[in-house]
Structure 1
Amino acid sequence: MDAAKGATKSVLYEAIATCKSCQGRGTKSGKKRDVCLACKGSGVRSLSVASGFRMQVTCDQCGGKGTRISPENRCPTCGGKGQVKERKVESVDIPAGAEDGMRIRIPKKGDDDSEGLPGDLIVRLRVTPHKTFIRQDSNVFVEAQVPFHTAILGGSVRVPSIDGDVELNVPAGSQPNQQMVMKSRGLRKIGTNYRGDQIVIFKVPLPK
Structure 2
Amino acid sequence: MADYYSLLGVDRSASAEEIKRAYRKRARDVHPDANPDDPEAAEQFKELSKAYAVLSDDQQRARYDQFGEAGVGGAAGGANFEDLFGNGGGLGDIFDAFFGGGGGGGNPFGGGGGRRGPSGPPRGQDMEVAVAITFEQSVFGDQVPVDLKLPQTCDTCDGSGAGEGTKPVTCSECSGSGQVRRVRQSVLGQMVSTSPCPRCGGLGEVVTTPCESCRGEGRVTTDKTYTVDVPAGVVDGSTLRLTRRGAAGPRGGGPGDLYVHLRVRPHDRYHREDDDLVTDVTISIAQAALGTTLELETLDGVESLVVPAGTQPSHQFVLKNRGVPRLQGRGRGDLRVIVDVEVPTQLSTEEAELLRTFAEGRGESVGEAGTGLFSKIKSAFS
TM-score by length of 2: 0.49
Aligned counterparts of 1:66 and 1:95: Cα–Cα separation in 2: 43
Counterpart CA distance in 2 for 1:188 and 1:44 is 53
Amino acid at match of 1:181: V
Indicate conservation of the 8 Å contact 2:239/2:259, yes or no: yes
1:67 equivalent to 2:205? Answer yes
How do residues 58-97 of structure 1 correspond to structure 2 at under 5 angstroms?
Answer: 58-70=196-208, 73-97=209-233
Query: Residue deviations 1:37-73, cap 9 Å, x none?
Result: 4435442222345614121211122112233223xx1
How do 1:128-147 and structure 2 match up within 5 A? 128-147=265-284
Q: Which has the higher contact order (CA 8 A, sep 6+)?
A: 1
The residue number in structure 1 matching 2:156 is 21
- 1: CA distance, partners of 2:232 / 2:291: 35
- Relative to structure 2, which stretch is displaced further, 7-16 or 101-110? 101-110
Q: Which of residues 133, 139, 157 is equivalent to 1:4?
A: 139
1:100 to 2:236 alignment: yes
Moved more, 190-199 or 99-108: 99-108
Please show how residues 170-181 of structure 1 align to structure 2 within 5 Å: 170-181=307-318
What displacement does 1:202 show? 0.8
Amino acid at match of 2:171: C
Tell which structure's C-alpha radius of gyration is larger.
Answer: 2
Q: 1:65/1:4 Cα in 2 relative to 1: closer, same or farther (>3 Å)?
A: closer
The whole-number CA distance in structure 2 between the counterparts of 1:148 and 1:56 is 83
Range with bigger deviation, 46-55 or 126-135: 46-55
CA spacing shift, 1:40–1:134, aligned 2, 3 Å: same
Greater alpha carbon shift after TM alignment, 105-114 vs 146-155: 105-114
CA contact (8 A) 2:218 2:252 kept: no
Counterpart amino acid of 2:275?
Answer: S
Higher-helix-fraction structure: 2
C-alpha offsets along residues 5-53 of structure 1, whole Å, 9 cap, x if unaligned? Answer: 3322211123332211111221111223344344354422223456141
Cα deviation per residue 1:113-133 (whole Å; 9 max; x = unaligned)? 465545554433221111110
The letter for the 1-side match of 2:273 is: Q
Where does residue 153 of structure 1 map in the other structure?
A: 290
Q: Over aligned residue pairs, what C-alpha RMSD do you find?
A: 2.4
TM-score (norm 1): 0.85
Q: How many residues align?
A: 206
Amino acid across the alignment from 2:219: Q
Alpha-carbon spacing, 1:180–1:55, altered in 2? closer, same or farther (3 Å):
same
Unaligned runs of 5+ in 2: 1-135, 346-382
